[in-house]
Homo-oligomer: A and B are copies of this chain.
Amino acid sequence: MSDAVRTAEKRMDDAARAAWLYFIGGKTQDEIAGQLDLSRQAVQRLVALAVSEKLIRFRLDHPIAACMELASRLTDRFELQFCDVIPGDAQAPGSIAGVAVAVAMRLERLLTNKAPMVLCVGTGRTMRTAVEEMDTLDRPQHKIVSLVGNMASDGHASPYDVVMRLADKLGAQRFPMPAPVITETIEDREALQGQRVFTLLSELRAQARASFVGVGEIGWNAPMHRDGFMTDADVSALAEQGAAGEITAWSFDAAGRVLQGPINDRVASLPLECPPQRLTVIAGSGPSKIVPIRAALAGHLASALVTDEATASAILSN
């Protein structure tokens, strides 16, 4: 055995000793320095070494641990500003309740701020439930802006009227989008977007602090289809193009690239920002959301995620 190796081993022994005394023995570095007859700095270096060499390991005995781990990996992998992973609820697997509460908490935290703020919202079951979970809060200074219409082209409205409900909770100013989600024709869309209100919404969005949106899958029985925003033909055409999901009706492929084509050409929602110019939170959980969320994150269509444990795990295991 070489002398260098011996020295290195001795160093590791000392590092292990120092780390033991520090973390397990709960002593200060000064005390350890006295005990091992080293300078305090030497002890600090040994402790740092033990940590960086993984001699000392931290283990968290709590269900939250797995969630934190997943959240951390998602944040790193997709460069997110934050990621909330809700522990899988044994009582109600597949329920969106947990995720909705987490979104509600994020909304409350943000909106508690007294400085006037513009907040954009999408639609969907998760967003709607999240708003219901929120406490009422008196914030008339805020502005709630819809990123997406809530009518089908036949004029009937989706029940997920997120802007209005959220603005009600706050007593805030509301800016719904008086338009279908997807128009009948490209001309219809162009006509709509020529209107004053669209310019206003666009300007408001530019000032917005954050956007909170759901994420949907593309397929039969997907919300977009079930609620009549998309026809059977639309769904088929999108599937053909490799659509992996949609946010505020904008369909994108598995890499998160917004699709070019006859359906997106008729989407009246405010355009997706890629990369996001402000905090952009997507929320969703369940097996059907795995592919859409993964795609949206891969394409940097969002800068934050709220989901549950099972979904988070599945998103990472591709």
Given contacts A68-B25, A82-B35, A109-B37, contact A19 B60 (CB under 8 A): yes
Tell me whether A314 is interfacial, beta carbon within 8 Å: no
B68 and A61: CB pair below 8 A?
Answer: no
A6 within 8 A of B: no
Question: Which residues of chain B are within 8 angstroms of A50 by Cβ–Cβ distance?
Answer: 60
State which of B12, B35, B64 has its C-beta within 8 Å of the C-beta of A20.
B64
- Are B58 and A58 in contact (CB-based, < 8 A)? yes
Contact A56 B55 (CB under 8 A): no
Q: Is A57 an interface residue (CB 8 A)?
A: yes
Could you tell me if B20 and A68 are in contact, using CB atoms closer than 8 angstroms?
A: yes
A68 / chain B contacts, CB cutoff of 8 Å? 16-17, 20-21, 24-25
Chain B residues, CB < 8 A from A109: 37
Distance of A64 from chain B, by nearest CB (Å): 4
Q: Is A196 an interface residue (CB 8 A)?
A: no
Residues facing B in A21-63 (CB within 8 A) are: 21, 23-25, 35, 37, 50, 54-62
Q: Are A56 and B56 in contact (CB under 8 A)?
A: no
Contact A61 B55 (CB under 8 A): yes
Whether A60 contacts B12 by the Cβ 8 Å rule is no
Contact B64 A60 (CB under 8 A): no
Tell which of B25, B56, B65 touches A72, judged by Cβ atoms closer than 8 Å: B25
Which of B19, B55, B59, B72 is A57 in contact with, Cβ under 8 Å? B59
Q: Does A13 contact B (CB under 8 A)?
A: yes
How distant is A17 from chain B, measured CB to nearest CB, in Å?
Answer: 6
Bound CA span A83–B68, Å: 39
B55–A20 CB distance below 8 A = no
How many angstroms between the C-alpha atoms of A56 and B69 in the bound complex? 14
B58 touches A17 (CB 8 A): no
Verify B64–A57 contact, CB threshold 8 A. Answer: no
A25-B72, A37-B109 are known contacts. Are A16 and B65 too (CB-CB below 8 A)? yes
Contact A16 B62 (CB under 8 A): yes
Q: In the complex the two chains form, what is the Cα distance from A311 to B19 in whole Å?
A: 24
Quick check: A61 and B54 within 8 Å, CB to CB?
A: yes
Please state if A12 and B62 are interface contacts (CB–CB under 8 Å): yes
One digit per residue, 1 when the CB lies within 8 angstroms of any chain B CB and 0 when it does not, for chain A 71-86 equals: 0100000000010000
Contact flag A24-B58 (CB < 8 Å), given A35-B82, A37-B109, A109-B37: yes
Measured CB to CB, the residues of A under 8 A from B are: 12-13, 16-17, 19-21, 23-25, 35, 37, 50, 54-62, 64-65, 68-69, 72, 82, 109
